[in-house]
Structure 1
Amino acid sequence: MALQFTIPEMTAYLDKVFPQVQGMFGIDRMDEDLLIMRLHNDERHLRPGGTVSGPAMFSLADVAAYVATMARIGPQALTVTTNCAIDFMRKPAAGVDLLAHARLLKLGRALSVTDVLLYSEGKPEPVARANLTYSIPPKG
């Protein structure tokens, strides 16, 4: 399925529908095969010990799955997360952005399923893996 947004259009859309996270995320790549998003890591995302918190990692995975879905179905802001499973596998590197590599595994009329691997920028091993399902509202 062809993409419904360019990267600048998607960024503007996210800023409009989720102004509370404006500037927190960036899109590095968005095509039919892969979405790469980044969490601009700063002090608000850290937990004691100086590592990225689980909630910040979840946010990146969730937004990446949302963007991967929106990129294909167009602007349907009421598309919502219905399931998420996340495995935290390694401590993220300190002082670098986190990258989400999101692949849409299934896109149906009512649901999308996305697999997301999270990486510390510059590191080859994933720090977390998430599987998310989104509910797509009926048309009309």
Structure 2
Amino acid sequence: MWKEFKEFAFKGNIIDLAVAVVIGGAFGAIVTSFVENIITPLMGVIVGGVDFTTLKVTVGEAEILYGNFIQSFVDFIIIAFSIFLAIKFLVKFKRQKEEEEVEAVVEELSKQEELLTEIRDLLKEQSNKN
């Protein structure tokens, strides 16, 4: 049983996933700080100095904190956009690397074709001489 657990726990995918979760959590904290400390104050200036986190509506004794919802929504949009940009960058990088590999193969084929053409031409010359 210990052996099975060890095989499961130390598979590359599990460790990669754990690292991704930790990095994702840290990234989320950075984005949240960015939104709370930079974006929200700027949005407050744009809309006339409103602090979103203090926006609320009182209905009877209940307080509806819609400002916190706006804050969470902005956090989500920025996190989603950041992830989109990161994935777009990674896909572009991967595609560029694949194109370079294809170019190398095409270049290699071109050299082979060139050599084969030279061999063909030499064989034709020899057959014409005979």
TM-score (norm 2): 0.29
TM-score (norm 1): 0.27
Higher relative contact order (CA 8 A, sep 6+): 1
Structure with bigger helix share is: 2
